[in-house]
A and B are shown apart, each in its own frame.
Chain A
Amino acid sequence: MRERELLPVAPPARIRAVVAELVRPRKWVALAAFAALLGAIGANLVAAPLLGWIVDLVVEDRPASAITAPALLLAGIALVEGALAVVGIALMGRLGETLLAQLRRRFVESVLALPLRRIEAAGAGDLTSRVGTDVQVLGEAVREAVPAFVRAALMIALTGVGLAALDWRFLVAALCAVPVQALTARWYLRRSPQLYAAERIVGGAQQQQLLDTFGGLRTVRAFGLADEHTEQVRLRTEDVVRVAMQVVRLQTRFFARLNAAEFIGVAAVLTTGFLLVGDDLGSGVTVGAASAAALYFINLFNPINELLFLLDSLQSARASLARLIGVVDLPPEAEPQRPAEPADGRVLARGLGHAYRPGQDVLADVDLDVAPGSTVALVGASGAGKTTLAALVAGVHTPTRGEVRIGGATLAELGPAKTRETVALISQEVHVFAGSLADDLRLARPDATDEELRAALATAGALEWADALPDGLDTVVGAGGHSLTVVQAQQLALARLVLADRPVVILDEATADAGSAGARELESAARAVTEGRTAIVVAHRLSQAAAADTVVVLDGGRVVEQGPHEQLLASGGRYAQLWAAWSGVREG
């Protein structure tokens, strides 16, 4: 296996720059959201002194009718608070969602522009986890953690101001809790990321094990592996239970420490009230003010717990952001200033050699001349270099030695964009895109009419089953939709190829895993699709080779035989032996 070369992760400075760049055009929305939230929380905090006022009225033995004014004010601020909260939360959500959508779009664009070799070097898992987990983590943070954090922080800050307004010594008393809280947060953040990561890993391993076991149920039964698999599942669930208990222990210890901080704070505020109300210094603090201060602090319990607990989510959201921006920042492939135009569909390879690792040639001295519109079949054992040769012609990899010319121009002269406009490649991977069948096909030609889609499906031998689908071409297929068989999915790939309409096509492993009957169906479809194009076909069945204009036999990265089917049969070499085994015609 080749070394993994993971995609980059953006440094903190770059994250700040990108976020600032995204926020700048919307800075007024951001400011308005902030102001509205501040106002809403400010209104909320006015409630405590109004309650304090009522207390003071009672202490001063004022008549019951005096209560009406502060109570009406309380009702008034409830309305103001609600109205401002609606504006603040809506604007904040709008800002967050818009930024998220922009980032998502830029990320997908960057990924689509990545060269295939870069994706292969990083491994499919790297991109999958970025587009799956990271986008999701960031989305949740924008929707939940960030707004909750901002509101909690504003609440705490404004309460501090409120406490100070009652008497600055109340604020000092409340701050007694801060050292314990800060130490608790630090203690928690040192442990939580690893533990939550471990939780995700064991959860994922358990899910994978179940999919593995249940997905291979027939195999498990056929080979009598039930006990072994039950034990595997048991071990995975043990891991899940163990980590879950570690998580709950961490969280409960975290909250226990915060409880201690709450007590320290509330005791300090009450003691301060006691001293200030009873003092002779003329501080003017009333019982009502002391009550308000105590209520302020009790109301802070939840925001403080929330704020500290959210630090963990924000930390992981930041890590996800770094991984997304890392990809967004990758430069696009360099294109030549003036891309050459291929004269025709001739494929020419001269002295082609390739090594993924220096000194380990997987392909050497390959010469190939494929006339426009003709078909070449590549035959050879696995590891003979067929796939590498196909990838070099398609421009996925740059050859270590030699060159590939298409229609007279080298791939470098054509540049990546022009190469892909000229050469189409069906690789070993089969994917049906989620959405309607028509949408899937239109990826290959966005402006195709329904008639063109049907014609392409007909060429690929797929029209019959496509028409039989519940909603015809509008049937939703792929993940979450109608599931297609392997043969159908591969016919769909061939239909896309018809629509893409490239002069040169390369088919690699297009018939694998389809079973004998399916393979034959696909072969005839592939023949129809390659009609009139230059085609290089990696042959998995010799019938594919027999139908080609030229057969190229590869062994150990070199061409050992090359010529038309009949000629190679007559020469009695490697190919002739293979054919004999295949067709049951023994020599002599």
Chain B
Amino acid sequence: MPRSDSGRRLLRSCVRAHRRPVLLASLLFCGHQAGEALVPVLVGVVIDEAVTTGDPVALITWLAVLGLDFLVLSTSYRLGARQAWAGDVRSDQRLRMMLTRRVLDPAGGAEAGRLPGSLATIATSDTKRIGVVNYALPHLVAAFAALIVAAVSLLVISVPLGLLILLGTPPLLYLVERAGRPIERRAEPSQEHAARASGVAADLVAGIRVLKGIGAERAAAHRYAAINQDALTATLTVTNAHAWYQGTILTANGLFLALIAYVGGRLAADGALTVGGLVSAVGLAQFLVGPLQAIGWANGMFAQGRASATRVADVLATGPAVTSGSRPAPERVRGALRIAHLSHGPLSGLTLDVAAGELVGVVCPDAAAATALLDCLGREVDPPAGTVAVDGVPLTEYPPAVARRLVLVAPHAGQLFAGTVESNVRSAAPDRDPAPALAAARADEVGAQTAVTEQGSSLSGGQRQRVALARALAADPPVLVLHDPTTALDPVTEAQVATALRMLRRDRTTVVVTSNPTLLDVTDRVLVVRDGRIVADGKHAELLDRADYREVVLA
């Protein structure tokens, strides 16, 4: 199936899901447009029937009709806009939730090849552009309705003048559009150039500590002045192009109006058209520009919506990263971990056993191999060969969410979420007292009630790492896998954490992937992975006798 088809289908389903507000808004906007179209017509009627004749009854009658028209156009716009808007934001919301559910699916896969930022953009900007289709569609329907009303009115007033206006306006708008397009296209690169000025300013301010640290303020100010000047020069070409475009539109409209006035005036002078008819026709000619522009605008929105729908459909359609077993969670878990003949990336036939309750260090000088091992343990990937089993049962036999409750892999860059230190730690185990875990990771010093902003940015690197470790400890899984959990800690705290870790995880299986000697020192056993397999197995203190080991952990 071609990709654009899936986008189109998604777009249609979004309109269908909110057809009630879209339909209501279309009807109401039609009423509004008809009302707007009638304003110049009714003004013409007042002039013909009342101002020219001096008949007060006609004046009052037709002003009342005009008032009624305003009431209709105003009310229908008000109600229609609310419906259209509701169709828009509700559709936006529905898609965003669909995307969130897909991305958060335990089987994963949606994030493959996409940065978190671009996923977030798809879930905000793209869904918004799809939502706008529900807002633009009623406008489009109404614009067509208005075109018809205006066309009929014009033809009733005068067939030749009506034809002139109806046939002349679209080519005019097309010509103006064509005249504008090369100008806009030429302006695009300079617009990017101009946007750089604000972008660079924000970037310099974001890095101000770095600039101050090396005394580069003056260099930065000079550089900014130059970029800012470039941006100004680029912007001015855009400004000039824009001015030309605006001037062209005004002139084209004015010339067309002159033509209408000339033809209409001659017709009126020949008696083929009333004075009021002439006034109405001129008013309708001006009015027509609105619906025609609305049609162009709605088309643009649809094109954008289609492109966005393709991107959203792509994410929704990505396959899972790992297969899902169906075995229910075991009732009792001893926590014996066995990796057999595991091959994935740099790992080639890795085999290792960790007894239930053992604390094992894994030294893996090749960072890629460490990542591959952790991905397999955390069920982030299906390895091409080999198994990871707990108590003899391969993890692939369980649903991924169950497997992760048996083996918890705490990522090295474990992210904290908005809330408090305690809410982050508690999220792992809502029913358990977080105090021992907080204390063991020395995260109690950060303060349990300390606020944590998004991505933990309110805390220092060391604080973040301690809270993330406390969360992993609080989860208290049968098998806990930690990856370099103390890199941002000072040596004093690190030593305290290592001892506490040993205490808290006694009788529970724990694997620490690290080359940090303080952590390795508290383990029961250390395994060294080289060239994708185990090359050494022994106590840290004994392994220190080997020069290659010393080089890795102490250098």
B253 contact set on A, CB distance < 8 A:
78
A255 contact set on B, CB distance < 8 A:
74, 77-78
**Interface residues on chain B, size class:** 35 or more
A210 contact set on B, CB distance < 8 A:
96, 100, 119-120, 123-124
**A21 in the interface, Cβ–Cβ < 8 Å?**
no
Query: How many chain-A residues does the 8 Å CB contact rule pick out?
Result: 176
- Picked from A72, A104, A241, the residue with its CB within 8 Å of the CB of B90 is A241
Cβ contacts A413-438/B at 8 Å (1 or 0 each): 00000001100111111111111000
Shortest distance between the CB of B342 and any CB in chain A (Å): 19
B7 contact set on A, CB distance < 8 A:
none
Say whether A97 contacts B235, CB under 8 Å.
yes
Known A287-B52, A291-B275; judge A112-B204 contact (CB<8 A).
Answer: yes
**A30 in the interface, Cβ–Cβ < 8 Å?**
no
**B507 in the interface, Cβ–Cβ < 8 Å?**
no
Say whether B217 contacts A58, CB under 8 Å.
no
**At the interface, is chain A mostly helix, strand, loop or mixed?**
helix
Shortest distance between the CB of A242 and any CB in chain B (Å): 9
B328 contact set on A, CB distance < 8 A:
none
**B144 in the interface, Cβ–Cβ < 8 Å?**
no
Chain B's closest residue to A509 (CB) is B461
**B376 in the interface, Cβ–Cβ < 8 Å?**
no
**A357 in the interface, Cβ–Cβ < 8 Å?**
no
| C-alpha spacing A196/B512, complex, angstroms | 50
Say whether B43 contacts A298, CB under 8 Å.
yes
Say whether A112 contacts B248, CB under 8 Å.
no
Cβ contacts A515-537/B at 8 Å (1 or 0 each): 11111100000000000000000
Say whether A252 contacts B77, CB under 8 Å.
yes
**At the interface, is chain B mostly helix, strand, loop or mixed?**
helix
Say whether A496 contacts B214, CB under 8 Å.
yes
Q: Name the residue among A79, A213, A230 with the largest chain B CB count within 10 angstroms.
A: A213
Residues of chain A in range 426-465 having any CB-CB distance to chain B below 8 Å: 426-435, 439, 442-446
Residues of chain B in range 284-328 having any CB-CB distance to chain A below 8 Å: 286
A116 contact set on B, CB distance < 8 A:
208-209, 212
- Picked from B200, B202, B239, B404, the residue with its CB within 8 Å of the CB of A94 is B239
Chain A's closest residue to B96 (CB) is A237
State which of B158-166, B260-268, B530-538 sits at the interface with chain A: B260-268
| C-alpha spacing A68/B120, complex, angstroms | 62
A225 contact set on B, CB distance < 8 A:
417, 427
**A263 in the interface, Cβ–Cβ < 8 Å?**
yes
| C-alpha spacing A271/B101, complex, angstroms | 62
Say whether A581 contacts B100, CB under 8 Å.
no
Say whether B471 contacts A223, CB under 8 Å.
yes
Shortest distance between the CB of A36 and any CB in chain B (Å): 10
| C-alpha spacing A216/B117, complex, angstroms | 11
Say whether B380 contacts A218, CB under 8 Å.
yes
- Picked from B73, B89, B117, B408, the residue with its CB within 8 Å of the CB of A222 is B408
Q: Name the residue among A55, A221, A434, A515 with the largest chain B CB count within 10 angstroms.
A: A221
Say whether A214 contacts B67, CB under 8 Å.
no
Known A226-B106, A582-B517; judge A75-B255 contact (CB<8 A).
Answer: yes
Say whether A50 contacts B261, CB under 8 Å.
yes
**A315 in the interface, Cβ–Cβ < 8 Å?**
no
Say whether A543 contacts B554, CB under 8 Å.
yes
Shortest distance between the CB of A74 and any CB in chain B (Å): 4
Say whether B492 contacts A212, CB under 8 Å.
no
Shortest distance between the CB of A63 and any CB in chain B (Å): 6
**A16 in the interface, Cβ–Cβ < 8 Å?**
no
Say whether B201 contacts A513, CB under 8 Å.
no
| C-alpha spacing A214/B110, complex, angstroms | 10
Say whether A97 contacts B232, CB under 8 Å.
yes
Say whether B198 contacts A224, CB under 8 Å.
no
| C-alpha spacing A58/B262, complex, angstroms | 12
Say whether B51 contacts A270, CB under 8 Å.
yes
Q: Name the residue among B67, B216, B460, B495 with the largest chain A CB count within 10 angstroms.
A: B216
- Picked from A127, A277, A545, the residue with its CB within 8 Å of the CB of B54 is A277
Shortest distance between the CB of B476 and any CB in chain A (Å): 12
| C-alpha spacing A99/B198, complex, angstroms | 14
B222 contact set on A, CB distance < 8 A:
446
**B221 in the interface, Cβ–Cβ < 8 Å?**
yes
Residues of chain A in range 396-424 having any CB-CB distance to chain B below 8 Å: 396, 420-421, 424
| C-alpha spacing A396/B208, complex, angstroms | 13
19 A-B residue pairings within 8 Å (CB atoms): A54-B265, A75-B254, A94-B239, A213-B417, A214-B120, A222-B411, A237-B92, A240-B89, A256-B78, A266-B66, A287-B47, A290-B47, A434-B203, A443-B220, A446-B219, A500-B216, A502-B215, A516-B487, A543-B554
Given known contacts A266-B66, A514-B487, what 4 new A-B pairs fall within 8 Å (CB)?
Answer: A70-B261, A101-B197, A224-B405, A233-B100
